[in-house]
Structure 1
Amino acid sequence: MADESGNSGAEVVAVAASIDHRFSKQAAPGITIIAGLGVQGDAHAGERVQHRSRVAANPDQPNLRQLHLIHAELFDWLETHGFAIGPGMLGENIATRGIALLDLPLGTLLHIGDDVVLEVTGLRNPCAQIEAFRPGLLSHLARKQPDGAIERLAGIMCVAIAGGTVQPGDAIVTGLPEKPHMKLGPV
């Protein structure tokens, strides 16, 4: 870890989990992170891929999507576009505030609270389930840029490096990887 950024004010605003493979997750007062697996009792926890379409393609893939994080500022922005979206509704485990999640480089370590460490593995790739959840929402979360590239805004994916409990109000400190930094891609 080359660069520790204090991220003054970066914090967890909500946590959620679901034992079932559902689009939205239930808000909780806290979640337990298990190193190498993800959120205890969550359908996406595991060493190997748990996302249904990825399991169908190759169940032996490593699970780079153990946890899903979204910046709560996205909820604010979506509201200005007519979408009332709150924590857990887009399937994330942790909603944050005060940290530019989408700008983090690959391999960034997120130190949450006293014990938890997550490693950033990539961007969430918004899918058709988002459109089924709220018609018109997908075009706000996966926007085509003038150069043809897709800008993905639906949060980031992480793996659990160190476990513990995460709850609203926990501070987040970012540990950047050695340079050169690699831009996040979809996972």
Structure 2
Amino acid sequence: MNRKNIGNNPLLKLYAPYITRINESLNTEMNSYTSSEFYESLLYSLDGGKRIRPLILVLSAECFGEADENAMSAACAVELLHTESIIHDDIIDDELLRRRKKPFHVKYGYDTSILSGDFVLGLILSISARLDNARITDNLAKTAILMSEGEMIEERLVAGGDATFDDYLKTIQYKTATAFEAAAKIGAIIG
């Protein structure tokens, strides 16, 4: 992860060691799939992320104990869930730019994008199985469900054009806030 302004931003500087650990864990996780058809495209999709959700998970784990290897694995699952949602969201929104580069579906096509989302879901399930904690699996599953619900609500609102402020709040709660909530909860469970 390239953070050119890390020296100028005290928060980025403070959290840089955490981000480095998260990125190392993601690289380790991805290196298990170097022979996969999805390897290159997944590295592309993970490049440039801020890692806010996994950072929250790791910090939460530290608040309740320690950020051990299980916390780092769970942080990978949370980041992968976010990545999968971005891939699908960019297709739905027909985005032309993501993180100052081509979005996944523009670079790899729709078929690869859809299949990559499925593959990433498999990665998340695999990590969750290794963690062997039903509460973590439940949090990840509920988050994926709510994020999908949020996307559908947004689509309905865009198509209908009659969104209320409450509709907007529900959309961002489901699409965004639930992932942050899950990160904090999972970190607490692991810590």
Tell me the TM-score normalized by structure 2.
0.32
Name the structure with the higher strand share.
1
Is the radius of gyration larger for structure 1 or structure 2?
Answer: 2
Name the structure with the higher helix share.
2
